[in-house]
Every structure is written in structure tokens, then in C-alpha cells.
Structure 1
Amino acid sequence: MNLKLVSLLLLVATTWLCGCGSIRMGRTFRYPIQITDPKATYQTKALFYNLQHPTSNGILFGQQDVTQYGIGWKDEPNRSDVKSVCGSNPAVYGWDVADLVRASLQGNSAGNEALERNRQLVLQAYERGGLNTFCWHMHNFVTGKNFYDTTAAVAAILPGGEQHAAYTRSLDVIAAYFRHLKAKDGTLVPVIFRPLHEHTGSWFWWGKRHCSQQEFVQLWQFTVQYLRDKKKVHNLLYAYSPDRVPTSATYFERYPGDAFVDVLGHDNYWDFNVVSTPNKGVLTLDTLVTEAQARGKVAALTETGLEKITNPTWFSANLLQQLKSSTKASQIAYLMVWRNAHEGHFYAPYPGHSSVPDFLQFYQDSLTTFENDKPQLYSVPKPTREQRRKAAQVANKLPVLREPSTQ
């Protein structure tokens, strides 16, 4: 064999094993974490680790559809109402795969263009250092109507159900989209996927009154296994996000298991709209942070907000100060408010709104982290020998994640 070829092969092999070059597949993540997907990409594991171990004490702030449209504008490059107000985009970008599924299944040029526009916004957010998270407002697979149609449908999309094939076709679309979210250097963009959200309520067809506990858990586990194992999607973290709950037992009543969840989330549009001691929302976050630390997870306030911000000091007095009142709650990794659709439905200030001065205080506070704060989410420093020793000790204490049967 040619000596130069042998040398080249040895160099490639060394690079692959050491993870010290541009060949990314062989990079070994050397910090102890346990996530839903052991085969997750290096950047996905780094994201999880950094959300668990932030380099600052700040909570990442986010908004749904934030660079897609705002009050009086749509599809303008690198624009958001948040940026127009404070000079920085949020650090977290919320999206919805429902639009992607609908666009793809329609198969028309307008749908494909919408899908590509969304993909570019996600890539741009990642390139700027932001975090992308997707929910899924699924259409009802039995009736074809929207997510508010509460006709029973969960049993129908489980394996053996009459709409199971339709459900897997939608998962195929989602898998293809996530697998093609590639940055300029070819890196797969990490995403937090948050399906079946607010299931403790009953306004969606996957809600508590419309399926059994067993059906919900089976659907969650099937969804994760299908995307991860069958479709080989390895750039996802999975977020579990009930609506507000009265007790910890209620929160975990339909929990699919630690082997299927990375983020312990919580959607709450109620409790932070009043100032109270103790605040029920803060107490829930206290519990989530405690549970996340015990289980090796990430805790987050995955949706919140006050529609039309009718209280002009809501961000600082209601949300921020109540989070700061609790050592535990102030340790959540991120929080996200809902979208700015129009003047009758918005959750972040826009130029000229009465809440702008208060939001600027919220932005400037040391507990909040925005994109301009440059959070380091997708890389970790090489561990020292002492860190590797401690990592080994921690790894030995982590619980073993076993996936219960979905049969």
C-alpha cells in the first residue's frame, strides 16, 4: 500500500478517535449525562449539559415565532419585536412542527416555500447561538379538524389503530425536517422537541379527559422510539410540559419515564398573572428544579405570559421578582412567552407599548439571558484530569435509565 495513503488513513483514524478535528462523528462527550438518546450528536449533548450547568446564573428568555412575524410586520430579515424594543433577540426561539407537517403533506409550492422559510429562521437562530424548541399542535387524526377538536383520537393513532399509518406519516415528515437542519459546517442543529404539551388540561384531544393514562404514556414512548430508533433522528432533546398542576403527583401522573424525557417543563399562563406569597407557579418550579436535579434532567418554564400585557409591569414585578424570590425557581434553564400575532394577541412588548420601560428592566437584570449575552450552548471545554475523576464518580451514581415496554 502507498506510504502516503497509509499515513493519511492513520491521521483520519486518530482524528476520529480523538475528536480533535473537523470530523465530528467521532467526538466523544466526556461529561456524565444521561439523555433520552445515547446516540445524540455532540452538540445536542453539549446543549443538554450547558442547560444543566449554565456558565452564568441567567435564565434564557424566549418567545414563540419571534423572528417570523410581529406587530405590523412579517418575514423581515433578523427582525423581532423583542429586538426592536431592547436591541437583542431572545436566546430561545419557539416554533411549531404542525405548520411543517401541513406544508409537506399538502405538497404544493406555497407549502414548500413556507417550510423552507421556517428552516432558514431556525438555522439563523442557531448560527447566532440561540436555542430552538418545537411544540406540535397536531390536527385531529380522526376528524381532520384542528387540535381543539377533542374527539377521541389517541387510541386510533397507536400501533394497531386505524389512523396509525397517518400518524407515522406525520412523524416521517418531522424526522426528515429535523435530520436536514444542518448548519453551514454540516452540523445538525440541536432541537428541544415538546410534543403532547399541556396534557393535564383537556382543551387538546390528547388531554386528560380524552385518553387513558396508559394510552398517553404509550403514545409518548412510541413517538420517541419511532423518531430516535426507526428514523435515526439524533439531534433532539425531549421536553415534557404539563399545564399548571396542584401537586407533584399530578405533574408525574402521566409521566412516560426518565428514559423518555430530558426536560421537565411547565406551561403556566395563570399563576404568574398575580403576585402572591407563596406563588403556586413558583412552588411548582421549586419542585421541578428539585426533581430535575435528582433525576439528571433540565427544568424550564416552557410557556408563560400575559396576553396583551395588560399589566405594564408584568415582566419585572410579576414574573421576574417572583422567580427571584425562590432559590430553586430561579435555577430554571429557560422560560418562553407566547407569540406576537397581532394587537389583540401578543405576549412580548413592541415599540410604543406601555410595557416597554418595564421590559427593559427585565432585559437588563442579571437573572435574564438574551442572545446578545452570548450564551455558550453547543460546546464544552475539555475537562481537566480532576474534572474527569469527578465525572466518573458522578457517572457511577447516576440512576440506570431503562425503557419500560410499550406493549
Structure 2
Amino acid sequence: MIARRFSNLPESCGAIRSSFFCAIILLAGCGPLGRPNAASPPVAPAPIDRLATRETRALFASLRALAPAHTLFGHQDDLAYGYGWTGDPGRSDVKSVAGSYPAVYGWDVGDIFASGKGPLRYDPLRADKLRAWILSGYRRGGVITMSWHMPNPVAHSDAWDVATPAVARILPGGDHHAAFLADLDIAARFFRSLRAPDGSLVPVIFRPWHEQTGDWFWWGAAHCTADQFNALWRMTVARLRADGVHNLLYAYSTDVFDTPEDYLARYPGDDVVDILGFDDYHGIASRATLPQFEQRIRTVVTLAGSRGKIAAVTETGLEAIPDAIWWTDILGRGLDDVPGAAWVLVWRNANPANDRKEHFFAPYPGQKSAADFVQFTRDPRILLEDELPDLYARQR
């Protein structure tokens, strides 16, 4: 079903409904020539996994078709909690302000494990909650993306424990290799458990080992070589495929960078990446830094286009949003000035705790930027969930 923004477009907009679905067919390589056989190269860009499910291939094609003209808006942990509430069924700070759920839902694989230190332990109750939230958004037509703030697998502490070297010890030949593969197997079982009512698997944009160009995570640039990081990435993709996971698109997501060379310094290869993304809390901080944000989008969009990939702003936001017109004057301006990002995701809305400053990245009702956020979502480029076409139309 095409939502209101697409169904109400005037004829001068070029019959976007028809052109959108034609674009999906062309981008997915499913034209009159049919599916390429195993010995032929794909006729158009496609997911790296040749066994990707039909819905996963459709999502890849849909995002590529939409990106030149539209950017989906996303929010981390949107259904789980918000400013001043936790676990209220159907509640969302984005929906409360803008009238619709976000188009993209960000989650974390770590939420299927028990909290606390020690080796990872699968927690069925936590996994069930996360699965329910994921299926809720997917059934309405939303997009699911998942990061993984994996605890240091050697120290069994947290993702920010950089005092204990870990990457070399989880690669083949390392003393923690087998245990690490077992953790990946648990994640694989969860990905395979994400089934819609019709039995089809929910496509997930998986964003592992993100912000690897920084030094705050144990897999960061200061704690392993580029070759070791590439081996970690490739091992992750290979193990999940070996475990029968074929409903993932893989997103490479750096921290901020200055040049294409900086961005690609730890790039593991076109054969193991579907999406080129970046996380940026710096470039959107003010009008003075906006040109840097725009240049980063331009670089990623260009690189993605040349490789047949999807470009995205995989994580961003302004903590506590103190600027009443930040949405239209900074973030919206950057996305409009440099089109091509398939989605933008802002971080979570956590509640103030103890002496911690307020930590939220989407407005809630009454927050000073709420009215401007509504204006931002009315930009024809920005799509919320109720404005999405069917991103998962089955390929024929």
C-alpha cells in the first residue's frame, strides 16, 4: 500500500508510484531476461548474499530506488522506551510528536543476552521482547537495523573495554576463537527466528563493528590492524552465512572522516558490504560544522554509487536537542543540500538517571524542538513509516 505522500503526489511529480516500482524491478535485476544464472554476473547491483531472501533483495532494491529523492527517518530503541516511560505498548516519542512511527527502527543484538559481566548468556525473555518489537515495526512496513555493542570477548566486560586486546585472540588460531564463534551462532539463531506471520524471514540491516575508525571500542583502529579488522568482518559474515542466515544486509559504518581514503582505510571489500554508512555527532553540532557533515554525505554517496551499494547516515543526533530549530536548520538542511542517503538514524531517548545529564536524541511532546521536528518530517525528502511504499514487495 502506498501511503499518503505517494498517493497524493500531483502528475507533475512523474507518477512516482509507477516509476518507483519499475525502478525496484530494474534495480533488482528481475526484468525480461529473468534471474541471472550462477555463472553470470548480476544485471544490476544486488545484495552480496546470492542466497538472500526475496524480501531482503526487495529491501535492497527499494532503498536504492528511494535514496535519490527520499531519506527514511530512523530512531534507536524507539518502541522499547522513551523520555519518561518504559515498555508502554505501542508508544513512541516520534509518533507522539509527529503522528507516525519512524520509518527505520534501530536495535542492538546485545539485547538478546543477559545483562552483567561474564561470558555471554542468551536470555530468552529479553530475546522475546526484542523480537516482538522488531516484528511490530516490520509488520507496519518499517525497516530494521541492528548494531552490536558486543562486550569485550576476552575480558567479558563491555564494548568500551579497550585495555584488554581482543581482536587477534578471536581470529582463527586465537585462544578465544571458538568461544567467539559460539556467540555468533547465538546471534544467527536469533536472526533466523525473526519470522513474519506468513513465515518469511524479516530482513535486517546488520551493522557490526561500527565506528571502527575510532578508538573507544575494543575493535577500534587503535586496538587492531586494518588486516585484523578486515579478517574480523569477513569471519563474521562467513560464519553467519554458514549458520544459514540469509536475511541480512551488511552495513559498513565508520566514525567521522575527512577524505575517501580515510573512509576506506578499513573497508573489508565490496563482496562483504551492502551499505556504506557513517556515524556523525560532530558535523551536525552547529551551522559552523555543517559543511563537514555535507562533505561526508557527498563522499559516502559517491563511493556507494560507484560500487552499486546503498549510502546512509547510520547514526547521528544532537544530545538533548537544545537548538529549537536544529531539525530544519541543521540536519534537514544537510540532507536536502546533499541528497542520496537512504536513511538517517538518531540515537535513543534514555531517561535521566542519577546525576547523568539528559540523554535523548528525538523530541518528546513539549520538548523545545518538537514543533521544528514536525516541520522537518513534512519535508518531501523525509519519510516516516506511514509514508512508505511497500519496501518488501516480493520479486517475481
Structure 2 length-normalised TM = 0.85
| Secondary structure in structure 1 of the residue aligned to 2:58 | helix
Q: 1:147 to 1:55 in 2, by over 3 A?
A: closer
Q: Distance in 2 between matches of 1:347 and 1:277?
A: 18
Larger Rg: 1
| Secondary structure in structure 2 of the residue aligned to 1:173 | helix
**Distance apart, 1:193 and its partner CA:** 0.2
Q: 1:100 to 1:277 in 2, by over 3 A?
A: closer
From 71, 85, 88, give the equivalent of 1:73.
85
Do residues 320 (structure 1) and 332 (structure 2) align? yes
| Secondary structure in structure 2 of the residue aligned to 1:378 | coil
From 295, 302, 312, give the equivalent of 2:307.
295
For 1:248, the equivalent position in structure 2 comes to: 260
Mapping for residues 184-263 of structure 1, pairs under 5 Å? 184-228=197-241, 230-263=242-275
Q: 1:339 to 1:181 in 2, by over 3 A?
A: same
**Distance apart, 1:56 and its partner CA:** 8.0
Q: 1:332 to 1:56 in 2, by over 3 A?
A: closer
Q: Distance in 2 between matches of 1:136 and 1:256?
A: 18
| Secondary structure in structure 2 of the residue aligned to 1:240 | strand
For 1:89, the equivalent position in structure 2 comes to: 101
Q: Distance in 2 between matches of 1:145 and 1:55?
A: 39
Do residues 340 (structure 1) and 349 (structure 2) align? yes
User: Which amino acid is the alignment partner of residue 106 of structure 1?
Assistant: R
Structure 2, unpaired ranges of 5+: 1-33, 37-42, 353-357
Do residues 372 (structure 1) and 381 (structure 2) align? no
CA RMSD of aligned residues (A): 1.8
Q: Comparing 251-260 with 73-82, which one deviates more in the overlay?
A: 73-82
CA contact (8 A) 2:276 2:311 kept: yes
For 1:57, the equivalent position in structure 2 comes to: 69
> C-alpha deviations, 1:360-393, integer Å up to 9, x for none?
10111111000010332111676xxxxxxxxxxx
User: Which amino acid is the alignment partner of residue 128 of structure 1?
Assistant: R
For 2:18, the equivalent position in structure 1 comes to: none
Q: Distance in 2 between matches of 1:278 and 1:74?
A: 34
Q: Comparing 270-279 with 283-292, which one deviates more in the overlay?
A: 270-279
CA contact (8 A) 1:29 1:45 kept: no
Q: Name the one with the larger helix percent.
A: 1
Q: Distance in 2 between matches of 1:191 and 1:377?
A: 13
Q: 1:156 to 1:79 in 2, by over 3 A?
A: same
- Between Structure 1 and Structure 2, how many residues are aligned? 348
**Distance apart, 1:57 and its partner CA:** 2.1
Q: 1:363 to 1:258 in 2, by over 3 A?
A: same
Do residues 181 (structure 1) and 194 (structure 2) align? yes
For 2:369, the equivalent position in structure 1 comes to: 355
From 292, 298, 322, give the equivalent of 1:280.
292
CA contact (8 A) 1:292 1:298 kept: yes
Q: Distance in 2 between matches of 1:148 and 1:174?
A: 20
CA contact (8 A) 1:71 1:341 kept: yes
**Distance apart, 1:224 and its partner CA:** 0.3
For 2:134, the equivalent position in structure 1 comes to: 122
CA contact (8 A) 1:29 1:42 kept: no
| Secondary structure in structure 2 of the residue aligned to 1:57 | coil
User: Which amino acid is the alignment partner of residue 158 of structure 1?
Assistant: L
**Distance apart, 1:322 and its partner CA:** 2.1
Q: Distance in 1 between matches of 2:330 and 2:68?
A: 23
Mapping for residues 8-19 of structure 1, pairs under 5 Å? none
Structure 1, unpaired ranges of 5+: 1-27, 383-407
